[in-house]
């Protein structure tokens, strides 16, 4: 899990993701990948192979029927995994719902 705390919603996804990109490319085994949503920035071909996201509108789909079936299965698995993560985050956020006090973010490092 990768997180930056103290100012939820005030930073762009790519700013938050930069340390994760470095860690993913230099400190994780080659076969490891991260599951993300379709909005998560994937800047380079190297990152595109390491960050998996569900199919989104406008994506090119394979014309080979076996490859298409494989992509459909992967997409179903990605959506399922992301859904479980979303439910978990909602549960965590619900547990701390009374902590709604905004925290200052003027001294952030990024």
| C-beta separation of 53 from 71 below 8 A | no
Look at 53 and 74; give whichever has higher pLDDT. Answer: 74
Look at 84 and 77; give whichever has higher pLDDT. Answer: 77
Averaged over 27-51, what is the pLDDT? 82
The DSSP secondary-structure symbol of 35 reads: E
| C-beta separation of 30 from 77 below 8 A | no
Given pLDDT bands bounded at 50, 70 and 90, which one contains residue 87? confident
Instruction: Tell me the pTM.
Output: 0.63
Which of the given ranges, 18-32, 60-74, 80-94, has the highest pLDDT on average?
Answer: 60-74
Look at 79 and 9; give whichever has higher pLDDT. Answer: 79
Averaged over 39-62, what is the pLDDT? 82
pLDDT at 25 exceeding the cut of 70: yes
pLDDT at 107 exceeding the cut of 80: no
Alpha-helix runs per DSSP H in 1-110: 13-26, 45-50, 65-95
| C-beta separation of 36 from 53 below 8 A | yes
């Amino acid at each position: 899990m990768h997180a930056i705390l103290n100012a939820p919603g005030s930073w762009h996804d790519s700013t938050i993701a930069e340390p994760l990109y470095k860690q993913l490319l230099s400190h994780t085994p080659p076969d490891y990948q991260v599951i993300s949503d379709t909005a998560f920035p994937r800047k380079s071909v190297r990152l595109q192979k390491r960050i998996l996201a569900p199919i989104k509108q406008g994506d090119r789909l394979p014309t080979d029927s076996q490859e298409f079936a494989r992509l459909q299965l992967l997409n179903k698995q990605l959506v399922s995994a992301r859904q479980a993560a979303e439910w978990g985050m909602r549960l965590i956020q619900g547990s701390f719902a009374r902590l709604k006090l905004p925290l200052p973010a003027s001294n952030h490092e990024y």
